[in-house]
Amino acid sequence: MIRIKNFELHVEDLGYPKGEAVVFLNGVMASTSSWYGFMKYFVKNDFRVVLHDFKGQLKSDKPEGPYTFREHAEETIMILKQLGIHQAHFVGTSYGGEVALTIGFRYPEYVKSLVIIDSTSEIDGKMKTEIERWIELCQAKDGYQFFKGIARSIYGKRYRDENKSALEDRAKATAKVPASYFEGQVTLYRTFLNDVYMTDRLKEIQAPTLIICGDQDKLKPLKFSKIIHQEIKHSELVVLEDCGHVAIFEKPNEIETLMIGFIHKNK
């Protein structure tokens, strides 16, 4: 745990201490473990890997909120300063991608490259309604029903059909998380609803940026990734076919290939 301000964040610092740093930023419901499969390549190839749970997430403290993306960005940079890291490649999915974008325009001197997966820089009515439904599911504090209730909005149809057993196991695992998890989730969802708009700042991002989106992403549809691509001058957009919102689970091989290639290109 690293103390930031008046709370502590769960941080994992792995790989070669003198190597180029890759910072992975979690999706809102996830934890550092969601990146373990992807970090292996970088650890084995002399990169330094930094993972952490945002405040409000599973392994970190959950101070009263809502928060702001500016705070998340600042706290990520504070972690890097404590670790003696002056520049890094940032990889973020969904909520983590929005934190990465914020770092991109607020702390450009720290950014070698950005990989943004299934993220948005603004919100519409449909997205707002869906997140408000998630808040209601969280408030019931029934992990099993919570996971079942969100699965259709985050996973593509083919993935759901082909992974029914695995998704059932995830629902059962979510049933065992502590009540504080759901309290933290509500705070993070409200942060998203209150503070996600950042489209007008994207033109300030100068770092090479790779934007990835599933073509069946119902939560943050492709149109939002296209906005990010349009606004960031040095950006590339890759669309993954037959893929929902959680591309890091649905298309892990494709994501790994894309991020490794892009980071090496900008090393």
What are 219-261's pLDDT values in tens digits? 999 999 999 999 999 899 999 999 999 999 999 999 999 999 9
Would you place residue 30 in the very low, low, confident or very high pLDDT band (cuts 50, 70, 90)?
very high
Q: How is the beta sheet containing 235-240 ordered, strand by strand?
A: 11-15, 48-52, 21-25, 88-93, 111-117, 209-214, 235-240
Pairing of strands 88-93, 111-117: parallel
Confidence at residue 43, expressed as pLDDT on a 0 to 100 scale:
96
* Average model confidence (pLDDT) across the chain: 96
Confidence at residue 234, expressed as pLDDT on a 0 to 100 scale:
87
CB 90 within 8 A of CB 25: yes
Domain residue ranges of the chain, discontinuous segments joined by +: 2-124+197-265
Instruction: Map the chain to HEC letters.
Output: CEEECCEEECEEEEECCCCCEEEEECCCCCCHHHHHHHHHHHHHCCCEEEEECCCCCCCCCCCCCCCCHHHHHHHHHHHHHHHCCCCEEEEEECHHHHHHHHHHHHCHHHEEEEEEECCCCCCCHHHHHHHHHHHHHHHHCCHHHHHHHHHHHHCCHHHHHHCHHHHHHHHHHHCCCCHHHHHHHHHHHHHHHHHCCCHHHHHHCCCCEEEEEECCCCCCCHHHHHHHHHHCCCEEEEEECCCCCCHHHHCHHHHHHHHHHHHHHCC
What is d(CA 196, CA 169) in angstroms, rounded to the nearest whole number? 31
Confidence at residue 245, expressed as pLDDT on a 0 to 100 scale:
97
pLDDT per residue over 95-112, tens digit each? 999 999 999 999 999 999
Q: Give the CATH architecture of domain 2-124+197-265.
A: 3-Layer(aba) Sandwich (3.40)
CB 209 within 8 A of CB 114: yes
pLDDT per residue over 35-93, tens digit each? 999 999 999 999 999 999 999 999 999 999 889 999 999 999 999 999 999 999 999 99
pLDDT per residue over 127-161, tens digit each? 999 999 999 999 999 999 999 999 999 999 999 99
Positive/negative CA dihedral, 40, 50, 36, 191? negative
Q: Between 65 and 263, where is the model more confident? A: 263
Residue 124 has pLDDT above 90, yes or no: yes
Mean local confidence (pLDDT), 183-196: 96
In the chain, the percentage of residues whose pLDDT exceeds 70 is: 100
